[in-house]
Amino acid sequence: MIIADTNVVSELFKPAPASQVLTWLGESVDVTISAVTIGEIWAGIENLPEGSRKAGLATLATELFDEFGDDVEPYDFRAARIYGRIVTERRRRGRPIGYADAQIAAICLANDCPVATRNVKDFTDLGLAIINPWEAAAAH
């Protein structure tokens, strides 16, 4: 299993998603998302002014997230404990990490699976395997 970071999922909401990401997703068998990513996407949509763009993105989000069904990885007790360690260690090293990134990383570590992200630097030094879909397709 590979957990896609929010920036991978949000790429699908663009009028012209990066071809590398679409290729990587098409070739990847076991990609899922976390509940944290769903929350981040919905927060972005809710922040938009009322109108056709917001309505269209809300429809797309509903359809996309429905496809994952019960395969969405939760932020659970194990992930919460790992999250505490990640945030604390990063702060001590002078490299704070955003809450959502720390939660997604914790979910990945709790499930022993890689994260797919464009923001590689945000996830380095966590003991986590990282895949950059913007570069992974070129590596094939």
Domain extent listing, the chain? 2-139
**What's the average model confidence in pLDDT over 79-96?**
97
CA distances, 120 to each of 15, 58, 72, 105, 115 (Å): 24, 28, 22, 11, 9
pLDDT of 47 above 50: yes
- Kindly report whether the global pTM for this prediction surpasses the value 0.85: yes
Q: Say what the pLDDT of residue 140 is.
A: 44
Say if domain 2-139 classifies as CATH 3.50.50.60.
no
Going by the DSSP 8-state scheme, the letter that residue 115 receives in this structure is: E
6-34 pLDDT per residue, tens: 999 999 999 999 999 999 999 987 999 99
Binding residue numbers for Mg(2+): 5, 101
Residues making up the binding site:
5, 101
Identify each DSSP E strand in 5-137 by its residue range.
Answer: 31-32, 115-116, 130-131
Q: At what angle do helices 77-92 and 99-110 cross, to 10 degrees?
A: 130
